[in-house]
Amino acid sequence: MMATFKNLPTNFTISKDGGYAVLSVPIEKSDNDDRSYRLIRLSNELEALLIHDAKTDKSSAALEVHVGSLSDPDNLQGLAHYCEHLLFLGTEKYPKENEYKDYLSKHSGRSNAFTSADCTNYYFEVGPEFLEGALDRFSQFFVAPLFDPSCVDREIHAVDSEYKKNLQLDGRRMHQLERSLSNPNHPYSRFSTGNLETLKENPIKQGLNIRDELLKFHDKYYSANIMKLVVLGKESLDQLSQWIIEKFSAVKNKSIPIPTYDDNPLTENELSNQVFIKPVKDIRTLNMRFSFPDQRPLFHAKPTYYLSHLIGHEGVGSLLTLLKKKGWANYLRAGYNGYIGFGFYSISIDLTESGLVNYEDVVVHVFQYIEMLRQVGTQEWIYHEVKKIQEISFRFQEKSIPSRYTSSLSHNMKFPCPREWILSISLFRKFDPQLISESLDLLRHDNFVLRLVSQSFNELDQREKWYGTEYKAEPLSDKVIQALKNITTHSDLTLPIPNEFIPSNFETNKSEISMPAKRPDIIKNTQISRLWYKKDDTFWVPKANICLMFKSPLAYTTPIHHVKTELYTELVKDALNECLYNAEITGLGYDLYYQNQGLVLIVNGYNDKLSILLEKVVIKMKNLKIDPERFSLIKERIQRKYKNSLLNPPNQQTTYYLDYLTNEKIWTNEEKLEALENIKYEDIEIFYPELLSHLFIESLIHGNILKDDAIKISQKVEEILQPKALITSQLIGLRSVLIPKGKKFIYQRNVFDSNNINSAIEYYIQIGDLMNKELRTKSSLTAQIANEPFFSQLRTKEQLGYLVNSGIKSQVGSLGFKLKIQSERNTIHLENRIEDFLNKLQTIIENMSEQEYQKQIQSLIVKKLEKPKNLTQESFRYWGDIISGYYDFEQVDTDVEELRKITKQDLLKFYKTFINPNSPVYKKLSVHLRSQKSNKTKLNGGVVNEEENEVIIEELELKDYNEIINDMVLWKSHMILGPSVTPFSNI
Ligand SMILES: [Zn+2]
């Protein structure tokens, strides 16, 4: 076959067999990248990046179409998103609606997609032997989708449920409000998700056939010349090229221009306004959004990076430091985001109560900082610092999850850069002070919209159409405009000092290792501490992770102890922020947080300067001086956090209550709020030395650090803290609640947020001890088999809601299987539908052929054997095994061996005993969160499905065998507890 190639960019030549055009110059890649790449163009102008990774244990592909919700027809808002949903549900070649997901599920895979304003991205991951089959199914999305009328009809409910899931989420509300308040003639002002109104009711009123419109949309925009494909596999580049030609050449090239939008959605009418907005949660933010041109063409100089580095800086002389000193702010973020043809530059500040009162002065300080930047002019040394950090990060870039990599590459391929730079788009190529000062000039007083978010705003006279967000918009005050017109600098605001944390020693002493070690070893074990250590023998990057757990029973004894521990960790981090910000931006990070066993400190990044960072944090932990003003601001922030967690979505609340019911001791948010009330900063000053006085320090050092240095690091920590030993019985961990055999409990409560229309259920079946390998492997095999049919039955077919999933729940001494749904339906209906599914699942297993059954086992084994993709993933795997207290580092191997032995008969026997609701030993605990706004339920127990004008009778009776939990504490007090953690082997 001799294809013809039109519109070839420079440096492309035709392949020997004439099948494709190929980029003939090498693609620039990280020194640390052992994969090989080839960029090709098919005769239909589809550009595809092929990645050969001989070692990968997952293959993946992603395709991005350069069209998104901005291209929705005016009268069909949400069409691009709806089209994305339907491509998954059958194509001409593979008409079965769950074929794609079913294939992936049986071969260790998964998939997802997203629709943004100017693009739609699809991706999947699959076991490496099954890439071709997955590609064949995937490619048909873009060649000949079915848009089966029955799916079109049903899937609208998934889109509608997705919209309703987001109704009470502030992030979504703010995003849509921002869009709704932009120029009404710009497509950006429209509603991007879509719902029943825009995609079903309106089209019916207008006499439109939605399926025809979907076909038209796909036919118009799904054109090969605006698609970017990335495929990653074990196969050779030649093999991958051949598959791509075979499967993607049939994608039609309609030679369409990329839909582009040259006007900015913020025009004179919108700029210079201030908008007051009421959130659902108790948050307070100030956002300044500047109209900006598309920055993509400036990839070589990245002028907005330079600005964000400075405006967002948190070190000495920064804007945030000044705002914190005044007691007005907690956090600050600055950055650009944009779409094809237009963009925005945003500065967002998390305000304190007094910051909100003084918001106009906050704006003035922002402009004083900008004025300072203008006066000092563009500094080449700062550009080089930012450039250097980016270069180091690229040089030592590690692998990530394959589908994340392919999806982000297919997204980045849109950049109008020379094709050999598509992997290195993050690098700076040119210092261009002119471009930087042009960007700085756009940060003008008449080029932004001010948005303020707070629950304290009253008399807001307007409501956003799609989410009902209350707001009021008015011009900026004359006072602030005058102040901005006559802006001067502020003596506190200066450029940052040079960054001393940029690493310079990258030696890894790489050597050939035939068998990397499977676990860390103990290299120190005393009354005070235990140190697990592994020198990196796999990734050879100049990085390390140091994880420390400071165990103390004092951290969790009462809600007051818990809250004090949390306040203490927040105060330490707050006190370190200014001096450690420079470390953070060079890729040296740390986190300090509390757990019920004590405090956890994680330090990670380039090992060169890692121990300096660790030392600074531990010294601060030991010698914290508490600033009373910062204390009261942080206390207020934590109070809001607890209050806000009551407003979390119902599907998160079910998990919270299930955890509460099944763990020996958890303090509720209400209890913590009450405890917080009377705590003063002096209490923390007394508390934390006591907390640190007796500790057991369990730690892991993994990475490019030598054994002697690891021991020195651990000694240094002990020298600084000087703790005394705990007695052994103080180290006994908390235990789990065991549900008695044959008991079926239900806990019901209302969703706290009275405006949330969603209910949720988490249905938990307790099976047995986590350390019983037979039960553990059979449970995960059941979860593996259940996953796809549960989704396909309850979401795709029954359309109960957008969020439908199932999986394993493991706790100390117990293990179970859980099924979750968030839905507008009554939770009793959901409960009964889950039990119906559990009966069906048994039949599915019974009817499964031996070959199908073996596929499921193999699919699970491949998933279990998946290796960590980078150093941090490996570290966290070990750390998880360490903090669990089981130290069962080789569990995967044990489980894989066990899985190979399980016959279908064994599994069925297990299923009938533990999972089937009719079994006499079945143990259930189901948590129902009921919406207070159940507008669909009628008194007679029937449900009116308004949009279809028919009455569906829901079963709204619970089965007799269920027992209702009325009082959680009383219930727990009657339950037996399982064993505490005992190490898997002697340590
Ligand atoms: Zn969606």
CATH topology of domain 12-248: Cytochrome Bc1 Complex; Chain A, domain 1 (3.30.830)
Cα 467 to middle of ligand 1, angstroms: 17
Average pLDDT of the chain is 95
Task: For residue range 559-617, list pLDDT tens digits in order.
Answer: 999 999 999 999 999 999 999 999 999 999 999 999 889 999 999 999 999 999 999 99
Q: How far is the CA of 162 from the centre of ligand 1 (A)?
A: 6
The first and second tokens of residue 926, run together, are 């189901």
User: What Rg value do the Cα atoms of the chain yield, rounded?
Assistant: 29
**Gap from CA of 289 to ligand 1 centroid (Å):** 27
Quote the ligand 1 centre to 172 CA distance (angstroms): 13
Residue 957 C-alpha to ligand 1 middle, in angstroms?
32
Task: Give the pLDDT score at 986.
Answer: 73
The residues with which 941 forms a beta bridge, in sequence order, are none
Tell me whether domains 12-248 and 521-731 share a fold.
Answer: yes
Q: Average of pLDDT values for 942-953?
A: 44
Helices (H) and strands (E) in the chain — how many of each? 31, 31
Four-residue CA torsion sign, 729, 730, 731, 734:
positive
Confidence (pLDDT) at 148: 95
Phi, psi (deg, nearest 5) at residue 390: -65, -40
- Predicted pLDDT at 945: 45
Distance from residue 259's CA to the centre of ligand 1 (Å): 21
Ligand 1 centroid – CA 125 distance (Å):
19
Residues 659 and 723 sit within 8 Å (Cβ to Cβ): no
The per-residue pLDDT for range 33-73, each reduced to its tens digit, is 999 999 999 999 999 999 999 999 999 999 999 999 999 99
What is the CA(99)–ligand 1 centre distance, in A? 19
Report the separation in Å between the CA atom of 193 and the middle of ligand 1, taken as the mean of its atom positions. Answer: 7
Q: Residue 64 C-alpha to ligand 1 middle, in angstroms? A: 16
Q: Report how far residue 124's alpha carbon sits from residue 402's, in angstroms, rounded to the nearest whole number.
A: 9
One-letter amino acid of 723 = P
Distance between alpha carbon 478 and the CA centroid of its chain, in Å? Answer: 42
- Residues catalogued as catalytic: 84
Choose which CATH entry (1.10.760.10, 3.10.105.10, 3.20.20.140, 3.30.830.10) describes domain 273-384+415-485.
Answer: 3.30.830.10
Q: Is the pLDDT of residue 930 over 80?
A: yes
pLDDT digits (tens, 9 = 90+) for 355-370: 999 999 999 999 999 9
Whole-number Å distance, alpha carbon 879 to ligand 1 midpoint, is: 35
Beta-bridge mates of residue 748: 928
Residue 851's contacts (CB-CB under 8 Å, 6 or more residues apart) are: none
Q: Do residues 782 and 860 make contact, with C-beta atoms less than 8 angstroms apart? A: no
Cβ within 8 Å of residue 198, ≥6 positions away = 76, 77, 78, 191
Residue 702 phi, psi (nearest 5): -135, 130
Length of the chain, in residues: 987
Q: What percent of the chain has pLDDT over 90?
A: 93
Distance of CA 197 from the midpoint of ligand 1 (Å): 16
Per the CATH hierarchy, to which homologous superfamily does domain 521-731 belong? Metalloenzyme, LuxS/M16 peptidase-like (3.30.830.10)
Contact (Cβ atoms closer than 8 angstroms) between residue 355 and residue 286: yes
Distance CA 747, CA 756 (A): 19
How far is Cα 820 from Cα 800, in angstroms, rounded to an integer? 11
How many A from CA of 164 to the centre of ligand 1?
Answer: 11
Instruction: Name the residue type at position 576.
Output: L
Q: What is the pLDDT of residue 953?
A: 56
* Residue whose token pair is 């210079």: 272
> What is the predicted pLDDT for the residue at 931?
96
pLDDT higher than 70, residue 153: yes
Average pLDDT, integer, range 914-925: 96
The CATH class, in words, for 737-977 is: alpha beta
The answer to whether the CB of 762 falls within 8 A of the CB of 924 is: no
- Residue 530 CA to ligand 1 centre (angstroms): 47
Nearest to 233, CA basis, from 134, 88, 102, 99: 134
DSSP letter for each residue of 46-82: -EEEEEE-TT-SSEEEEEEES--GGGS-TTSTTHHHH
pLDDT, mean of residues 769-787: 97
Could you give phi then psi for residue 285, rounded to 5 degrees?
Answer: -135, 155
- The CA distance from 621 to 600, in Å, is 12
Kindly tell me the sign of the dihedral angle through the C-alpha atoms of 124, 787, 651, 601.
negative
Q: Which of 471, 500, 700 is nearest to 583 (CA)?
A: 500
pLDDT for 9:
85
Q: Mean pLDDT over residues 931-946, rounded?
A: 52
Separation of 749 CA from ligand 1 center, angstroms? 29
CA-to-CA distance for 193 and 216, rounded, in angstroms? Answer: 19
User: pLDDT per residue over 474-488, tens digit each?
Assistant: 999 999 999 999 999
- H, E, C per residue of 369-438: HHHHHHHHCCCHHHHHHHHHHHHHHHHCCCCCCHHHHHHHHHHHCCCCCCHHHCCCCCCCCCCCHHHHHH
CA separation for the pair 543, 702 (Å, rounded):
9
Confidence of residue 948 (pLDDT cuts 50, 70, 90): very low
Residue 949 clears pLDDT 80, i.e. is over it: no
In the block, residue with structure tokens 């979390």: 648
Confidence grade of residue 954 (pLDDT, cut at 50, 70, 90): low
Six-digit token string for 872: 């941090």
CA 165–ligand 1 middle distance (angstroms): 11
Percent over 70 (pLDDT), the chain: 97
The pLDDT score that the predictor gives to residue 950 is 44
User: How open is the CA angle 720-726-730, to the nearest 5 degrees?
Assistant: 140
Distance from the alpha carbon of residue 621 to the mean position of ligand 1, in angstroms:
45
What spacing in Å lies between the alpha carbon of 217 and ligand 1's midpoint? 17
Tell how strand 950-953 and strand 942-945 pair up.
antiparallel
- Spatial separation of the C-alpha atoms in residues 190 and 197, rounded to whole Å: 14
Residue 129, pLDDT score: 96
* The pLDDT of residue 83: 98
Q: Say which amino acid occupies 34.
A: D
Q: Under a CB-based contact definition with an 8 Å cutoff, are residues 936 and 720 in contact? A: no
Q: Quote the CA–CA distance of 605 and 602 in Å, as a whole number.
A: 10
- pLDDT band, very low/low/confident/very high, at 514 (cuts 50, 70, 90): confident
Query: Residues within 5 Å of ion ligand 1 by Cβ?
Result: 162
Q: How far is the CA of 78 from the centre of ligand 1 (A)?
A: 10
Tell how far the Cα of 117 is from the centroid of ligand 1, in angstroms.
Answer: 13
- If phi over 0 gives left and psi between -120 and 50 gives alpha, with beta otherwise, what is residue 906? alpha
Domain boundaries, the chain: 12-248, 273-384+415-485, 521-731, 737-977
- Mean per-residue pLDDT, 107-136: 97
The first and second tokens of residue 804, run together, are 């439908």
At 415-449, the pLDDT tens digits run: 999 999 999 999 999 999 999 999 999 999 999 99
| Ligand 1 mean position, distance from CA 154 (Å) | 14
